[in-house]
């Protein structure tokens, strides 16, 4: 097994998420970016499911649309140019999974990175939309000029999530240097 690749953060999250998503489900990609997570979710929900994908950058949504077209299922996703903190205004159904890949687009403008305050509002909104037994995944990146405040605000708030309703699992690449990314899972208990 190629362990390096299997444990790269998005692949690790996808592996975990795949246990919670079935054909026909509704899922949300809170940060569409270049569309890798949207494509993964569209594959998981199949022809009868639906994915809502949010981004504030039109170019990101265009990249996502092209990726879905190449994959052959552009109709499975609704691409929404809006901040994810407003996701509840756009999604009426309960979601099986909500995916956040925080930070900025690789090679993109750091000023357009996700921000602590809006990411926290978005996670709260995702928790209202999640069905019992559903999962939210967060890939939290910190390093250089971004991400530390966002990481601390999110982890600080999640520490007090009601343990009767939520299980919050914070993973870490414990022996890696220089602020490795954090995969976090928020499970809505049945």
Ligand X SMILES: C[S@@+](CC[C@H](N)C(=O)[O-])C[C@H]1O[C@@H](n2cnc3c(N)ncnc32)[C@H](O)[C@@H]1O
Interface with ligand X (CB under 6 A)? 31, 33-37, 54-57, 60, 83-85, 101, 103-105, 112, 114, 118
Residues forming beta bridges with residue 188, ordered by sequence position: 166
- To ligand X, the closest distance from the beta carbon of 79 in angstroms equals 11
Measure the CA–CA gap between 164 and 185, rounded to whole angstroms: 16
Closest residue to ligand X, judged by C-beta, is 33
Closer of 125 and 130 to ligand X (Cβ): 125
- To ligand X, the closest distance from the beta carbon of 139 in angstroms equals 7
What phi and psi values does residue 19 have, to the nearest 5 degrees? Answer: -75, -15
Closer of 69 and 167 to ligand X (Cβ): 69
Task: Please choose, from the candidates 52, 45, 53, the residue with its C-alpha nearest in 3D space to the C-alpha of residue 24.
Answer: 45
Contact call for residues 181 and 103 (beta carbons, < 8 A): no
User: Which is it for strands 182-188 and 166-170: parallel, antiparallel or unpaired?
Assistant: antiparallel
- To ligand X, the closest distance from the beta carbon of 39 in angstroms equals 8
């Amino acid at each position: 097994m190629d362990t390096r690749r299997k444990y790269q953060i998005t692949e690790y999250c996808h592996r975990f998420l795949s246990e919670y998503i079935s054909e026909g489900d509704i899922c949300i990609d809170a940060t569409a970016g270049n569309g890798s997570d949207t494509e993964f979710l569209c594959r998981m929900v199949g022809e009868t499911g639906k994915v809502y994908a949010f981004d504030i950058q039109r170019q990101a949504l265009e990249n996502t649309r092209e990726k879905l077209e190449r994959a052959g299922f552009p109709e499975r996703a609704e691409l929404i140019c809006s901040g994810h903190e407003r996701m509840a205004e756009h999604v009426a159904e309960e979601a099986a999974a909500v995916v956040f890949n925080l930070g900025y687009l690789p090679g993109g403008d750091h000023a357009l990175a996700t921000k602590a305050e809006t990411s926290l509002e978005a996670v709260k909104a995702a928790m209202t939309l999640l069905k019992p037994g559903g999962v939210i995944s967060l890939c939290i990146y910190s390093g250089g000029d971004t991400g530390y405040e966002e990481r601390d605000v999110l982890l600080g708030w999640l520490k007090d999530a009601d343990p009767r309703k939520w299980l919050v699992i914070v993973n870490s690449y414990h022996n890696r240097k220089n602020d490795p990314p954090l995969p976090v899972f928020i499970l809505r208990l049945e």
